[in-house]
Structure 1
Amino acid sequence: MELQNIQVIVFLAITALIGLVTYWYCRGARHSENGEQEYFLAGGSLKWYFVAGSITLTNLSTDQLVGMNGNQMALLAWWELAAVVGLMMLCFVFIPVYYKYNCTTTTELLEKRYNNKHIRALISVLFLLGNIFIFLPAILYGGALFMQSMFGIDVNIYIIAAIFAIVGSAYAIFGGLRAVAVSDTFSGVLLLSLAIAVTLIALNAINFDFTGIPKERLTLIGAPDSDIPFATLFTGMIFIQMFYWSTNQTITQRAMASPNVKEAQKGILAAAAIRLLVVPPIIVLPGIVSYKLYGDIGDAAYGQIVGDLLPSYLSGAFAAAIAAAVLTTFNSILNASAALWVCDIHEAYFSKKPNVKRLSFWVSIVMVLMAFAMIPIFNNPEQSIINTVQQLYGLLSMPILSAFIVGLLFKNVDARSVILGVILGVGFYFYATNPMGEAQNINLHYIHLMAITLILAVLSALIMNKVVFKKTVIWDAKTVFGRAALE
């Protein structure tokens, strides 16, 4: 189809409006005199609705809408349903602890628990590797693909991705977390409203009739060889959600930016309600409908159905909403990555009092260029974006989570034993899944392997702590998670 003027006008108008409203709100807000606190935690001033909006839209981007709908099956809804459990863990277990230890980054908690800056720096580096080489390029690619398939425009996908990278960087670099969170919330209302409309319009296009669609695309009980075997819900899936929602700086940073624990918890609970009631239908039903209409077209499914079924003015608005989702997810990860570098690495090893804004500017530029160079990895017609992201991130997520689990449950742990456990976990998962080869070396689903990786890393750390470093761990969960953490 040809790009119509009304689509362009609506798209540009809504995009500009979100930017102006964000600027207006942030300009009138009170700012903290602490530069680091202001830039990375919005001065500790985020109300619960901005926490909810920012958490929702930071996660809900093209890797969900494009990638999950690109599977064209109901099974992928488990990612979002299981996310509710992860948010509950963040709300009632982890957030009180982060506030208790007065953390700017999640990794700061590790330094305080282990009394060692090197474990903090190592985990930060792993987070940064995942953000730069996995999440950021996946978001740029998914957003560019959606625009290309929705509008049917003959523009190189890398040009579209470059535009997203430039605009998204501007939000993160010049506005800090406050601008990111505010734009997330305004954009989130628009995106969720239009995504629900797309879902209803798509269902109406097939008269709510799912006949002719293969049974395996409608079931929530995954077969052993499916993308999400049912058994994995009770192994690696729960740990994936714990890692992503409770230890990942990009998500937790929003909740850590509230004035107190209760305000943060209200925002997290609101985000969980949205995740439970709204998100699952919008990330699977349009994809299933597209299978009935077009057949197996993979990651192009969502853009195709939006472009074909929505009237021009709505498709322009939806393009603006998707663009906002791409930009806010991109700038959220970029801001979190800058926080990790500045707080955990630069201040620890280079300069204790850097110019936060200037340093974040140059760090962000370098990260964006590196992420842009990784986009070709995700241009893979054989596997959806979401599966590629999850499988690759297993290299880092479970080893990182092992450091948090050991640090929160025990004391008298030598940080070197945990560092060795983390390295062993990365090595095991790399060997087991063989991401650089054509077949896995261990014939188990990667979600099962993630659970095994976590257990191996934790046990290795505890054994080395005893055998190599001659220390006996002491159970300390009551101290960490006790009533004091909630006060």
Structure 2
Amino acid sequence: MVDLISLDYVIIAGYFLLVFGIAAWATIKEKVNSSSSDYFLGGKNVGWFVIGASLFASNIGSEHLVGLAGSGADSGVAVGQFEILAGFMLLLLGWVFVPFYVRSGVFTMPEFLEKRYSKGARTYLTWVSIIAYILTKISVTIAAGAIVFTAIGVEFWTGALIIVIATGVYTIFGGLKAVLYTDMIQMFVLIGGSIAVTVYGLQALGGWGELQATVGDSYFDMWQPMDHPDFPWTGILFGAPILGIWYWCTDQYIVQRVLSARNIEQARKGTIFGGFLKMLPLFLFVVPGIIAYALSQKGMLTLESNDQSLIVMVKAMVPAGLRGLVIAGLLAALMSSLSSVFNSCSTIFTIDVYKRWKPETPEKKLVVIGQIATIIMVGIGLLWIPFMENVSDSLFVYLQSVQGYISPPIAAVFLLGIFFKRLNGQGAMAALLTGLGIGTLRFVLEQMQSSLSGVVLEFATFNFLHFAIFLFVVCSAVLVVVSLMTPAPAAEQTDGITFERGVQTESGKKRGDTLLTIILIAIIAALWIYFS
């Protein structure tokens, strides 16, 4: 348990007051409950800084802090590849997808799929998204956050309930605007707390050079061999981007932030800013895990579990009085990601389920439906927590592997759909259902692997990133073949939402964004070269 003093509790209390103050200000000032656009998309007048900060803060949940540090302690910087690649994916979101999303005027990603393909595609993505949020976002985030509370002496389920209630209150009443502005504040708290852990850990160990000498070169190599169980270089190079396209470019949880932008330019700038921020987790979350492992090798601390690396570091290395800042950072990570998924999930349910069922529903009633949907999703997420430990021993790898089963077909229909106007709704549905069937089969067989053998065992156990490549290729082939065998889509399904007919933003406003993009790519290349 992490020992806290009065100053720590004052800092934590101050953090909660700040978050609720900002949320209340955003709720009252912006009158977010006046319409569905205000509540779900922040009035579509949000600027780039808030968007970028929210992209970062909502992505970095407690499961990332716990999981990235744990993976860092277990196998080094290889897990940081997901964070580095996120920079590329955010550039893809800003330069490729954003113009079509913003110009289409949609509220949700399922709604965009209906515009491009069919009602069936919209229905599929609606329910896959809702189920995925429950299995891989809401429950995992609540569980990881409860672990943080356990570390400061609060019982697990009590901590989970505190998290849900505290986050749910401002999310339910404030909508996306409250989520965005609290995310911006939480970004600073999160980064500040993480820097404290890294600095004090390195100081105790004796510096960067001592860290490298203690753990060895293999811990600082991002490019692992093809047979690596979790992060083979082939999977990272070809499989991880597929997961990245789904998560960063097509998932409501992330894309809802850019949909709130006042225009395409602000949305693109926000994604570039978010890309720069995503270079930080390697040093702020993964490296502390490696430091914890190095300290344990020297007998300076004891690790009972790698997933406890961050908490053990906080207890052993960060002085009392500053631990409150670190705990506040952990809570910031938790609350930002949890509030984001609450809002996104309620948006999809309200717009893609309820409004389709009752299209004449008044604006204010849609807001109420969204608030009720949030409460229901939270309850389901809490019920799922006890079952998670039976799926995987590693929190972060569990999250990534489940995404690997559902992301390839979705990535295929979105990515190919904006490039090739000939693709149609029949092809999209065939690809989505094929992906669902193969992904479900893989998931079921993976749970039965102890009783399998031969080719079936190979199929059930080969690396989830390699599986993502396989499934993406299969679904893309199905999408293309079925589309070519059936009638071409109507003009309204391609005009303005495919590259053949897309109208881009003014080129004069892109110069600064282009320069920043080149700088970000150079940073990514430098990190890949250094950690190789």
Q: Report the TM range for the smaller structure's normalisation.
A: over 0.9
Give ranges in structure 2 of 5+ residues lacking alignment. Answer: 298-302, 451-456, 507-532
Contact 1:46 1:258 in 2 (8 A): yes
Report the alpha carbon displacement of residue 54 of structure 1 after superposing the two structures with TM.
0.7
Deviations 1:198-235 (A, max 9, x none): 11111111002123325433321213224211111221
Deviations 1:380-426 (A, max 9, x none): 69632110001012222112222213432333544233223212112
Report the alpha carbon displacement of residue 272 of structure 1 after superposing the two structures with TM.
0.9
- Aligned: 1:456 with 2:474: yes
Contact 2:108 2:252 in 1 (8 A): yes
Give ranges in structure 1 of 5+ residues lacking alignment. Answer: none
Is the alpha carbon distance of 1:366 and 1:478 closer, same or farther for their aligned partners in structure 2, counting shifts above 3 Å?
Answer: closer
Correspondent of 1:292 among 291, 294, 305: 294
Q: How does 1:418-457 map onto structure 2 within 5 Å? A: 418-432=428-442, 434-438=445-449, 440-442=457-459, 443-457=461-475
Correspondent of 1:107 among 84, 99, 110: 110
Q: Tell me, in whole angstroms, the C-alpha distance in 2 between the residues paired with 1:382 and 1:394.
A: 14
- Aligned: 1:304 with 2:312: yes
In the other structure, the counterpart of 2:394 is 384
Deviations 1:63-87 (A, max 9, x none): 2111010111211110110001100
Q: Tell me, in whole angstroms, the C-alpha distance in 1 between the residues paired with 2:107 and 2:487.
A: 32
Q: Tell me, in whole angstroms, the C-alpha distance in 2 between the residues paired with 1:117 and 1:485.
A: 27
Q: Percent identity?
A: 22
SS at match of 2:171: helix
In the other structure, the counterpart of 1:318 is 326
Contact 1:431 1:441 in 2 (8 A): no
Correspondent of 1:248 among 242, 251, 258: 251
SS at match of 1:313: coil
- Aligned: 1:403 with 2:413: yes
SS at match of 1:374: helix
SS at match of 2:222: coil
Report the alpha carbon displacement of residue 470 of structure 1 after superposing the two structures with TM.
5.6
Q: Tell me, in whole angstroms, the C-alpha distance in 2 between the residues paired with 1:450 and 1:54.
A: 27
Report the alpha carbon displacement of residue 30 of structure 1 after superposing the two structures with TM.
6.5
Contact 1:126 1:400 in 2 (8 A): no
SS at match of 1:486: coil
Q: Tell me, in whole angstroms, the C-alpha distance in 2 between the residues paired with 1:120 and 1:313.
A: 51
Is the alpha carbon distance of 1:75 and 1:367 closer, same or farther for their aligned partners in structure 2, counting shifts above 3 Å?
Answer: same
Is the alpha carbon distance of 1:218 and 1:19 closer, same or farther for their aligned partners in structure 2, counting shifts above 3 Å?
Answer: same
Is the alpha carbon distance of 1:381 and 1:133 closer, same or farther for their aligned partners in structure 2, counting shifts above 3 Å?
Answer: closer
Is the alpha carbon distance of 1:205 and 1:382 closer, same or farther for their aligned partners in structure 2, counting shifts above 3 Å?
Answer: farther
In the other structure, the counterpart of 1:14 is 15
- Deviates further, 83-92 or 473-482: 473-482
Correspondent of 2:275 among 272, 275, 278: 272
Report the alpha carbon displacement of residue 21 of structure 1 after superposing the two structures with TM.
2.9
Correspondent of 2:147 among 140, 145, 148: 145
Q: Tell me, in whole angstroms, the C-alpha distance in 2 between the residues paired with 1:384 and 1:108.
A: 34
Q: Tell me, in whole angstroms, the C-alpha distance in 2 between the residues paired with 1:387 and 1:308.
A: 26
Report the alpha carbon displacement of residue 473 of structure 1 after superposing the two structures with TM.
11
Q: Tell me, in whole angstroms, the C-alpha distance in 2 between the residues paired with 1:176 and 1:420.
A: 35
SS at match of 1:37: helix
The letter of the residue matching 1:95 is V
In the other structure, the counterpart of 1:51 is 51
In the other structure, the counterpart of 1:230 is 233
Report the alpha carbon displacement of residue 456 of structure 1 after superposing the two structures with TM.
0.9
Q: Tell me, in whole angstroms, the C-alpha distance in 2 between the residues paired with 1:121 and 1:483.
A: 25
Contact 1:86 1:245 in 2 (8 A): yes
- Aligned: 1:348 with 2:321: no
SS at match of 1:103: coil
Contact 1:146 1:300 in 2 (8 A): no
Calculate the aligned-residue CA RMSD, in Å. Answer: 2.4
Q: Tell me, in whole angstroms, the C-alpha distance in 1 between the residues paired with 2:105 and 2:482.
A: 30
- Deviates further, 215-224 or 319-328: 215-224
SS at match of 1:222: coil
Contact 1:15 1:324 in 2 (8 A): no
Report the alpha carbon displacement of residue 366 of structure 1 after superposing the two structures with TM.
1.2
- Deviates further, 416-425 or 44-53: 416-425
Deviations 1:283-311 (A, max 9, x none): 21110011122365211111110122112
Is the alpha carbon distance of 1:31 and 1:345 closer, same or farther for their aligned partners in structure 2, counting shifts above 3 Å?
Answer: closer
Contact 2:5 2:321 in 1 (8 A): no
Report the alpha carbon displacement of residue 189 of structure 1 after superposing the two structures with TM.
0.9
Contact 1:59 1:329 in 2 (8 A): yes
- Aligned: 1:486 with 2:505: yes
Deviations 1:23-44 (A, max 9, x none): 22442346695x1110111001
Contact 1:164 1:327 in 2 (8 A): yes
Count of residue pairs brought into register by the alignment: 480
Report the alpha carbon displacement of residue 195 of structure 1 after superposing the two structures with TM.
0.9
The letter of the residue matching 2:58 is T
The letter of the residue matching 2:439 is Y
Q: Tell me, in whole angstroms, the C-alpha distance in 1 between the residues paired with 2:422 and 2:83.
A: 37
Q: Tell me, in whole angstroms, the C-alpha distance in 1 between the residues paired with 2:33 and 2:16.
A: 28
Contact 1:409 1:476 in 2 (8 A): no
Contact 1:412 1:472 in 2 (8 A): yes
The letter of the residue matching 1:427 is G
Q: Tell me, in whole angstroms, the C-alpha distance in 2 between the residues paired with 1:91 and 1:245.
A: 10
